[in-house]
Amino acid sequence: MASSSSSSTVVQDSSFEWLVDPKELVHLLLPSALGIGETGDDEARVCVVGCGRSRLGHALRDQCGYRWISSFDNDANVVADMRARYGKDDPRMTWIQADITQPFAPKGSFDLCVDKGTLDAVLCAKEAATDLICQVHRVLAERGVYVIVSLHPETFLKPLLSIPGIGFELKCSTIPCLSGGSPRTACVLRKKDGSQAPRNIILKHQLAVMNKHFQQDAPLLTPSRRVAIYEAFGGDVLSLAEAHRRVFTDDERTEYSLDDFCADVNSRIAAEGKMSFQDALEFLEQNQ
């Protein structure tokens, strides 16, 4: 099987971090590093897209000096949990349930949007990545910054995010993952102006980059992976939950949830909700 590096870190206070602990991102997110006012600027408006149960919002406040921080997630349980735990601590920090692939805030309302693992998560539903990028571009003020932390390499993210006709300047860097696992990529996109190409042009560009990456540069089904999956099944027929756990790496499961996997597996491939080694190969061949 491909790399099995860990994609998540469980922190003691029951928060949950995908990809990298927020404290490893502080140097990158400081206002001075991003050119957003001076350190301690208390006017900058920050949004976290797909916040999950991460303490990223707290790191942005406590270590980076931002004060107005809105965190968005479409999972009602996550938002209720974060509000219950932290909602009364600081009126300038808010948690909001919203779909960030749809208009989720007024145009130009944020100076900084931070995305840790969320673009990765929506990349599975191909059009959602385009919608997320369009929405973030819309809610950013001019010269606003979108920071994406991703498990994907720069060789994929740079072309994906170099979108013709959308006003972003792009810089990528690698973040060593101190808490274990493979290095992550940070992309800093600065909004140059308000211009934006029509959605269908952005979508076409991104689908072409995704198809090239997943079919040619980093196909899911390599010969060594075929062998690894064969060994992982050990001749058994597995429940879909167990097949999902054994077929995909931790990093891949970050992007591709069990719910999405179950929705994609059609009844012809996995009769009665079970999967054999042959079924798994057929599924990967069809979906890479």
Report residue 132 as tokens: 């997320």
Binding residue (CB under 6 A) for ligand SAM from 34, 47, 78, 275: 78
Cβ(139)–Cβ(168) under 8 Å?
no
- Site stretch for ligand SAM (CB under 6 A), options 10-18, 158-166, 224-232, 238-246: 10-18
Do residues 283 and 265 lie in contact, with contact meaning Cβ atoms separated by under 8 Å? Answer: yes
State how far the Cα of 132 lies from the Cα of 84, in Å rounded to an integer: 27
70 CB burial (10 A radius; 0-12, 13-18, 19+) = buried
Q: Assess 51 for contact with ligand SAM (CB under 6 A).
A: yes
- The interface with ligand SAM within residues 252-281 (CB under 6 A) comprises 254
Least CB distance to ligand SAM at residue 133 (A): 12
Q: What is the four-CA torsion angle of 112, 156, 227, 248, rounded to 10 degrees?
A: 20
| Candidate list 36, 44, 54, 160; residue touching ligand SAM; CB under 6 A | 54
- Give φ, ψ of 105 to 5 degrees: -160, 160
The yes or no reply on residue 70 touching ligand SAM (CB under 6 A) is no
Q: How far is the CB of 152 from ligand SAM (least distance, A)?
A: 13
Shortest spacing between CB 31 and ligand SAM, in angstroms: 20
H-assigned helices in 43-75: 56-62
Asked whether position 73 contacts ligand SAM by CB under 6 A, the answer is yes
Catalog residues that contact ligand SAM under the rule CB under 6 A: 16-19, 50-52, 54, 72-75, 78, 99-101, 116-118, 121-122, 254
